[in-house]
Chain A
């Protein structure tokens, strides 16, 4: 496998119907067992399908089970009912081909940036030299060249999250699940990281499912935005985003964008 760092020509928007879904949820329900309190129905019969190379954002009021949905899609949790299909097969345990980026960067503080990014390859038993080279390429991709030997505590929140993204991409997964990866960042850093993510996505063309609570972020990044209802979460709205690619932050000021944002916001508030 080689990693191409060249950005491919502007990808055409992919609609969900054009391919067999790479990742799908069928009638997915999840209930957190209550210990000393009532069990919490986080998700109720959610179905969705993600096409290969599609960028899907999941938005919804806080506590609607967005993160639970993502954890189910990664098989970090097992559904109480329904199933997750990965390439048509039931997904019962985490896969190398599904990468996950958490809300927190989750770096190992005792490892350098390079060693953190190298971790997935190390776990797969790749020899040191090629692993190091691959990690270096990813560090360059996320714009952290020169920080290879820094420790996480010396990095800013945005830089930490870049390391986390590089780590999630280093073993070249087909699907990237992002759980509010920029949630802890300030607004400006967050915008910049969104643009970075878009650039990386365009360079590497992954299937991405990202949970966020920022409507503009979702509209700017995604091919499709799913709006979840409050607990128990259900899909309220699946909105195709017809904005052309490559996208640019200035699109936020277009009337088309405003109309879409309004539609999403009203769906969330009506819920």
Chain B
């Protein structure tokens, strides 16, 4: 490998005089100072009007450019629609399946699987995570299984789950739950372990019960990290549902993609994929909105 002289750190790194090393690492000191004081405004001078306009138009313009490039590739190469349909063709197909009502029907099926799996996975992971964070023995016993379940790719177990639980809703919900489980579990454990021991002691001096410690300290303290796990889990659940539907299903967006592929209806594949992206974005946005409401104190 070629040497990267620019990336090589130059030791010793000089410590800034204002960094209080005695109170922890310099890194901690920086974090603390960041959390304590609002960041100074980035740019004091307002931008000229036309530049602000350009910044606002950047996203739609880039989207438009992308669509134009897409159409150009299709036309210049004279690609047949089953290889790559142009944006106009895909748009028309979208309107067709929307009008037929079946895009929404399939999307509803998939959304149901995702939400069911998410609920099951999040509930299970949170419960197990709470147990693991409280009991070293449980941690010891469960950790190998949990890690092993992650080492096996979901596409390898999905056919088995479909075999055992049928091609219906149940197997999809289980696959979703399984894929959601790990990130939520890890974040639950990390979140609960991040609760400051001094705050626990403080509650002990006030004779807080176990339930009070849970409700007034552990839940709010672990919430930011737990919600981070939920954010990852929500997007993974979409993948879980599609994997399940690929393996064996007669409905859902994953089935629609498979069906479209079999019919060389590439426009349908793209439409269904777009619907999946929309679901993932909506779920992610929902979790982000929850974060904004629940973690308003951090603003």
Contact = CB atoms under 8 A, between A and B. Distances in A.
Interface of A: 71, 74, 76, 93-96, 98-100, 102, 104, 106, 108-111, 119-120, 122-123, 151, 153, 171
A106 B66 CA distance: 53
Contacts of B36: 153
B27 interface: no
Contact of B212 (A104, A111, A123): A123
Contact of B205 (A98, A104, A108): A98
B67 to A, nearest CB: 45
B206 A106 contact: no
Q: Which secondary structure characterizes the binding site on chain B?
A: helix
B216 interface: yes
B206 to A, nearest CB: 5
Given A100-B202, A110-B220, A123-B212, A153 B35 contact: yes
A151 B297 contact: yes
Contacts of B35: 153
Interface of B: 35-36, 196, 198-199, 201-208, 212, 216-217, 220-221, 297-298
A171 B205 CA distance: 12
Query: Can you list the 3 inter-chain pairs with the closest CB atoms, starting with the nearest?
Result: A100-B205, A110-B297, A94-B205
Contact of A102 (B202, B216, B220): B202
B220 to A, nearest CB: 5
A96 B207 contact: yes
Contacts of A95: 207
B211 to A, nearest CB: 11
Contacts of A99: 205
B204 A76 contact: yes
Contact of B216 (A74, A93, A123, A151): A123
Given A106-B196, A123-B203, A123-B216, 18 more contacts: A76-B204, A94-B204, A96-B206, A98-B205, A99-B205, A100-B202, A102-B198, A102-B202, A106-B198, A108-B220, A108-B221, A109-B297, A110-B220, A110-B221, A111-B297, A151-B297, A153-B36, A171-B206
Contacts of B220: 108, 110
Contacts of B298: 109-110
Contacts of A106: 196, 198-199, 202
B196 A94 contact: no
A109 B195 CA distance: 12
A154 B202 CA distance: 21
9 contacts: A76-B205, A93-B207, A102-B198, A106-B196, A108-B217, A109-B298, A110-B297, A110-B298, A120-B206
Contacts of A119: 206, 216
A214 to B, nearest CB: 17
A95 B205 CA distance: 7
A151 B204 CA distance: 23
Given A106-B196, A110-B220, A123 B207 contact: yes
